A and B are shown apart, each in its own frame.
Chain A
Amino acid sequence: MEHKVSYALWVLQEPIQYVCLAWMATLYAIKIRQLLKKPFPPEKGELKGDRTAGVIHSLTNVLRPWDMESTSTNMFFYVEFVIFHIAVILTISSTFLIPLTPWIMTPLVTKAIMAFMGLAFLIGLRRIARRLLVPNIRIITTFDDMFAIILMTTFFLVGFITMNQWLEAGAKPIDTTMMWIFFLMVTFFLIYVPFSKISHYVLYPFGRINFGRVFGGRGVLNKSVANPTWVPK
């Protein structure tokens, strides 16, 4: 589905987004460089396990909720997490798909993305309530945490409404008010995210790799490849 948009909206959708994207990528590159400049603490003990296997095991543990007690005993939370993050990926992707490859946004694809956005919006509301009402979570919640979840939840709602308008308009001209809001939010996101907790996805692989490297090497993870320390005599 393709809709004609004004020149101003096109500027927001494309050149401004690209500049903001470049800004975000630059800041992330600096962040990663700063992190990689820090030394990795030595692990010189004779390995009992396998570091590479440990890293793979650790990086893929997000796909094995049964592996960690915190997820295996909290499957509802895990399912919410999966839907929420799929919705994030789809919503961000759609900001590029709408202007660049509008023909991909068939009614079926649009409805599928909307379904995830709608669910993610509800999950977002529950997460906001959780941050406000559960004492264990409230005590560790910062303004950054709260702002990030409110922003994402609003973003899903705006995205849902925008998509719905896009879908319902068909071949007719579309009222672009919601699209303006949606793409302004995207622009804000790209500028703001490197400074917020939302950038946790950049740090995620580092945390998992560190963990997998140490405890894979020590034979605690991926036990099937664990080796005895001693040489049998």
Chain B
Amino acid sequence: MSDLQENVVKLETAKAVEQPVARQTPEPLGTQQNRHWPVKQEFTPEMLAEMEKLLPSRLNRILVTSLASCIHCGMCSNACHYTASTPDDPKLLPAYKADRFRKWYKFRYDWAAKVFPWFVGAQPLTKELAEELYDAAFGNCTMCRRCTFNCPMGVDYAFVMRIARGLLTAVGRVPQGLQETVDVHYNYGNNMAVRQDEFVETIKWIEEELQDEEGCSKFTIPVDKKGAQYFLTLNPREPKYYPLTIQSTAKVLNAAGVDFTISSRYWDLTNYALFNGIDPDAKQFSQWQAEDVQRLGCEYLLAGECGHGYRCLRWELPNWLGGVPFKVTSIIELMAKLVEDGRLKFDKSAHKGKRFTYHDSCNVARSGGILEEPRTVIRAIVDDFVELEHNREQSYCCGGGAGILAMSEYTQRRLAAGKIKADEVRATGADVVLQSCHNCTDQLKELCSHYKVPAKVMNLTELASPALIL
């Protein structure tokens, strides 16, 4: 039985035997509009015209520089996990993918293209070009920025692709699964439509489970505690499928004496509008969370273990909202600090005999700036830690980023693109591959199974929890 199945069975069994809890009346969360974004299966002339109309409003300095300055040197050819895993397909080259957008941009704005569009590779936005852009932006790029870090010109491919996704989504051409995730968040306040009373009930159950652990009888998971220092946010997969992750996180925070709380309202740190490129939605989700932090008067917004969620809170939320009056940090940064301060102590024998490696999530490391902190934590807990061949900001994407797990039509491509990561994990001989992102968790589990890599996948709080000296 997989960890996931085990957790779900445990959760269901526990719920079945527990006494009925007096449920509080749930507050309406989200917009309660029951919005369903009109998703289109193909482009119409009206959609193309709308994209033409929207393009000028999306042009900023990073986008324009990135679209105008590519010299087609091909240095990005080995930087992308798609090309590294499938070297025989030149259409997976980052420059080729970005050129689907660049052709259209040049047709509109390049001086030479006004006279000789064919000369600079410019093309009008046709149905065919728009389809190619759709395929490149959603199906062949996880916006991981590894190519950006290997581009001599500093072309920000992830930025280009996000704007492209936004333009496509705005006219309704967006993968159904991705858009549904955003719509659910919009309608219900979290992307798995977990009701407030169900969430609180789950947290209470997890708290009881935690208190049953040896040495943890006094540990708590405060909900809606006003004035707590840290406002802990979670990935909705945790209350749904991975309750042990919440339990582990709470155990770590309690063991270090951290004053934290979980909100019963906007606890979901994910923001899939980062992936469909619709800024008003991204702003809306951020606004809910920011208001909730202020409602509880917390000093820090603390991102749980979620790659894009961390990036959204730490780096994008202040942009979407124009700044925030609280600090934003991550459970990884906090754990590293607690280790350095001696507030977390570990028994290294808990993981004796096992070899560990760490996968840097793109949004945590390359786009997030958390590079050394996970290593501080891991080295405090285990003796046998080996780096992947490509690590820190040079880490290859596992292939599960940018919401691609929600786009089932690209499953085969996703697994193919993850081959380079699977090969690197196998080469370390590690028994456990650590990471700190739920999309990475699911993708790495699938990769290990698909490529028969004998490694378990675990996140950092799950690593820390059994080794804690209480």
Contact = CB atoms under 8 A, between A and B. Distances in A.
B90 interface: yes
Contact of B95 (A45, A71, A140, A223): A140
A136 B93 contact: yes
A140 B111 contact: no
A230 B230 CA distance: 11
B91 A139 contact: yes
Nearest to A230: B329
Interface string B55-66: 000011111111
B79 interface: yes
Given A68-B150, A228-B333, A43 B69 contact: no
Contacts of B333: 228-230
A159 interface: no
Contacts of A40: 60-62
B112 A196 contact: yes
A142 interface: yes
Nearest to A211: B154
Given A194-B111, A229-B329, A45 B118 contact: no
Interface in B62-79: 62-66, 68-69, 71-72, 74-79
B152 A71 contact: yes
Interface stretch (A9-17, A94-102, A166-174, A199-207): A199-207
Given A210-B62, A223-B372, A229-B329, A144 B90 contact: no
Contacts of A147: 119
B319 A45 contact: yes
B327 interface: yes
Interface residues of A, number: 62
Interface string A37-65: 01111111110110000000010001000
A124 interface: no
Contacts of A231: 327
B328 A220 contact: no
B72 A145 contact: yes
Contacts of B95: 140
Interface string A199-228: 010011011111110110011100100101
B319 A43 contact: yes
A41 to B, nearest CB: 5
Contacts of B368: 218, 220
A207 B66 contact: yes
A6 B72 CA distance: 41
A141 to B, nearest CB: 6
A232 B337 contact: yes
A39 B153 contact: no
B119 A140 contact: no
B152 A62 contact: yes
B72 A140 contact: yes
Given A40-B60, A207-B153, A223 B77 contact: no
Contacts of B372: 223
B315 interface: yes
A219 B156 CA distance: 17
A44 B366 contact: no
B367 interface: yes
Contacts of A8: none
Interface of A: 35-36, 38-46, 48-49, 58, 62, 68-71, 73-74, 77, 134-145, 147, 194-197, 200, 203-204, 206-212, 214-215, 218-220, 223, 226, 228-233
Interface of B: 59-66, 68-69, 71-72, 74-79, 83, 90-91, 93, 95-96, 99, 111-112, 118-121, 148-156, 159, 229, 300, 314-319, 322-323, 327-330, 333-334, 337, 341, 365-369, 371-372, 390, 393-394
Given A41-B61, A136-B74, A223-B371, 5 more contacts: A42-B318, A45-B315, A136-B93, A204-B153, A218-B369
